[in-house]
Amino acid sequence: MIKRKGVVQKMIDQREKMNEEVADMTKEEFSNYIDHIQNQYESGKLFVKPLREKTSR
């Protein structure tokens, strides 16, 4: 349960950081920011992918 609270707190901190980054942006800057995040997500750079377990046959 403690580990879960740590993960949730990290997510809250990340959300607050993103809110600070976009607070003073114009619509065009915000659009570019979202496009950049989308490109990172699509290329797999935004999140760490879980390791696949090796299966033995």
Q: What is the residue-level pLDDT of the chain in tens, covering all 57 positions? A: 567 778 888 989 989 998 898 889 999 999 998 898 888 888 877 666 666 666 665
SS (H, E, C) 1-51: CHHHHHHHHHHHHHHHHHHHHHCCCCHHHHHHHHHHHHHHHHHCCCCCCCC
Predicted pLDDT at 32:
93
Report if pTM > 0.85.
no
